[in-house]
Structure 1
Amino acid sequence: MLIMRRDRFTVIGRETGCHIFEGDGTRPIREADIRVKYRGTRVEFPEEIGGWRHAVQEEERRKEALGLPHRWNNDRFAVERVVVTRTHLAEEPVVTLTLQDADYYDFLTTSLNLERKQRNGLTLRKQYLESEDPVHAPAWMNCSFGVNVALETGRDGKMLFSRRSAHVAGPNSSRWNSSANEGMARKHDLPEDGSPISLHAVARRALFEELAVHATDELDLELLGFGLDLDNHQWAAFFRAVLPGLDEDTLRLRWSRGVTDKWEHDRFEFVPADPESVLGFMAGEPAERWTPCAPALFYLALVRGAVRRAGGDPAARFEVETAEQRVVEARRP
């Protein structure tokens, strides 16, 4: 049987744990071409994995009863499938994302147990992510979908890097990540009026809750693509956001006055948004200090910025490649 091996994004000589499923940064995916379908049916675990989930739930309840730190459950989505097609004439990407019901304990059940052996002797990673195409893993393996935003300040031309706090659960704590990141949740992102879920609305929520970017702030927001974290098996949407009227000083002043989810990050770095400076910052931090998909997100954002400055010429992406070569050469012994 032929097994589909998904390639891993590589930058500044480092192979990451991220597979870019769609998008190269040269053009955005239009909001009208994102079709999110929601099926209100809950994911179903195989019997053995369902037992693992029960154990997760009981352990968190035990810790809560004892007054210990614990993870609280919330309603999330499971990714049933992601399908990409093209429009007939312009060949613009059209993405259909189909979601089911899941919760945070469902996510913990698989994400914390990818290396755990089942009774058949196979780990979840081996059976569903290595022996099969991980893109087509069953929905119960896909109980996380994150919206990731690379933010640029327009007034002073800087890119924002955020380091996840050590208090955040999961394998990405204390690592450099996107400027803002938000996992989709049914409470916040499923419209009560029955209208479709909007990934752009989730991105705006992430910017507000984590970075205090308000609805009244001018915002240039583009969806650049989709990725799959092959290390932790999590789907992600990649956005580039530019705030024409804000700068580093203004944002830091806002943060000092309170942010809804201030606990999610413990450090921020503003770096000049030109390719050489951004890639130089990435190269200056060890590979293990990055989440798997953050480098891919920022690279796509750099490409998009170069293309827009060139009036839409996709060949401008090679400006980023040239800058990358300079960064690599400067760090050779």
Structure 2
Amino acid sequence: MEGLASGVTGLIVGAVLGLLASVLFEDLLKGQLQRVGSFARRLRARGPLPVSSEEFRLGPLHTPLVIVEGDGEQVINEQSVRLVVDPVDVRVPDEMAPWVEEIRAAEESKKAQGLPHFWNGPNYAVTSLTVSRTMIDESPEICLHLAHGDYFTFLAGQQLDRPFADGSTPRSRYLTPNDPRAAPAFMCCSFGTNVAVVTSDNLLVVQQRAQQVGSQPGTWSSSANEALSRQLDSRGRTAPDLYDVMRRGIAEELSIEKSEYHLEMLAVVIDAERQQWGALFVAFLHELTAEDVLQRRSRGVPDKWEHDQVEFVRFEIEPVVRHLLRADRREHWSSVGPPLFYLSLVRRYGRSTVERRTARILRSLS
């Protein structure tokens, strides 16, 4: 009997141990399968490796603007911006010189017929940019080196895909895809300032560029913009001031004086598709509301012809980001509009908050 009892006990103990082992093994196996499944799902979700690009992207929205310096959080102060002018004229290659003369003849013909035309205003060509940091708080300092350019040279340089006799083009011969800063000066005869204006009742001013402007006509863009001009922005022998260029643009396009807002420079940028340099600003109006802005515009502004429409967007993260991502608007932004408005949000609400809420919006749209 004793042997029988011990045998039964052994069977029971063995069965229990076997059950425990199977449960433990099953749990271990389940855990391994779950981990493998989770890894496989992550691999499927990742898809192909992303293509490296410095151009601005916001989910499905892409513009060819490269932010060279600036992140929206740190302002590039007026005292930290220096422009150095080398008073020599940039020269186009011999093969492109006839293009400039073609443009000159075409615009003079339009003028003689009383048609809309461009005039060859003296401007600046960007030769290089130097970026450094202050010793105390590491805030950005920039030095922009300029030479003398003109508008017809700029228009000739915009024919980036026009073939030379050997079949090459200005784009293939002179532009480096990975570094738009390396382009020769005659390809950089343009520097534009753009601003996001936020009214005192917290509305963002968005304008549509007119069809007759020379660059990106018909697109929705910044609140105001102004090109750097040798004739208007050089005071005697002194170099121009980018903040003053932007103030001139705000006055000419919105009839708002510099005492009526606080202006901050957010970034230096390059449109890599058109090889156009620029600076991005945000202006916070002290007292003027959106209705005040509309009324001023209705009473006449010098450069009202440069824009066809104006609209207002609540200057909060979700309304602005969703406005940028509207399906009917994504392909109709200028290269500068979305990056400018996004950095302006960062300036007001902070990068981490803007990035986090933007990620949530992008997930909801996918």
Equivalent position of 1:246 in the other structure? 288
Identity %: 37
- Count of aligned pairs: 314
Equivalent position of 1:286 in the other structure? 329
Q: Is the 8 A contact 1:158 1:272 kept in 2?
A: yes
Deviation at 1:216, TM superposition (A): 4.0
Gaps of 5+ in 1: 307-315
Q: Specify whether residues 227 and 10 from structure 1 end up closer, same or farther in structure 2 by C-alpha distance, changes over 3 A only.
A: same
| Distance in structure 2 (CA, Å) of the matches to 1:281 and 1:12 | 13
Matching residue's letter, 1:198: D
Equivalent position of 2:221 in the other structure? 177
| Distance in structure 1 (CA, Å) of the matches to 2:111 and 2:77 | 44
Equivalent position of 1:320 in the other structure? 354
Q: Is the 8 A contact 2:64 2:273 kept in 1?
A: yes
Q: 1:40 aligns with which of 58, 63, 87?
A: 87
Q: Which has the higher contact order (CA 8 A, sep 6+)?
A: 1
Q: Specify whether residues 268 and 25 from structure 1 end up closer, same or farther in structure 2 by C-alpha distance, changes over 3 A only.
A: same
| Backbone CA RMSD of aligned residues | 1.6
Within the alignment, does 1:199 sit opposite 2:242 as a pair?
Answer: yes
The equivalences for 1:117-266 within 5 A come to 117-130=163-176, 133-154=179-200, 156-170=201-215, 172-192=216-236, 194-217=237-260, 219-266=261-308
| Distance in structure 1 (CA, Å) of the matches to 2:121 and 2:242 | 19
Q: Is the 8 A contact 2:107 2:118 kept in 1?
A: yes
Deviation at 1:12, TM superposition (A): 3.4
Q: Is the 8 A contact 1:12 1:327 kept in 2?
A: no
Equivalent position of 2:77 in the other structure? 30
| Distance in structure 2 (CA, Å) of the matches to 1:216 and 1:150 | 17
| Distance in structure 1 (CA, Å) of the matches to 2:73 and 2:177 | 33
Q: Is the 8 A contact 1:231 1:292 kept in 2?
A: no
**Normalization by structure 2: what TM-score?**
0.82
Q: Is the 8 A contact 1:160 1:271 kept in 2?
A: yes
| Distance in structure 1 (CA, Å) of the matches to 2:207 and 2:191 | 19
Matching residue's letter, 2:294: R
Q: Is the 8 A contact 2:176 2:182 kept in 1?
A: no
Larger radius of gyration: 2
SS in structure 2 at match of 1:147: strand
SS in structure 2 at match of 1:130: coil
| Distance in structure 2 (CA, Å) of the matches to 1:19 and 1:147 | 15
Deviation at 1:132, TM superposition (A): 7.0
Q: 2:124 aligns with which of 62, 70, 77?
A: 77
Greater helix content = 2
| Distance in structure 2 (CA, Å) of the matches to 1:49 and 1:196 | 29
Within the alignment, does 1:329 sit opposite 2:329 as a pair?
Answer: no
Q: Specify whether residues 269 and 326 from structure 1 end up closer, same or farther in structure 2 by C-alpha distance, changes over 3 A only.
A: farther
| Distance in structure 2 (CA, Å) of the matches to 1:14 and 1:254 | 33
Deviation at 1:261, TM superposition (A): 0.5
Deviation at 1:256, TM superposition (A): 0.8
Q: Is the 8 A contact 2:61 2:325 kept in 1?
A: no
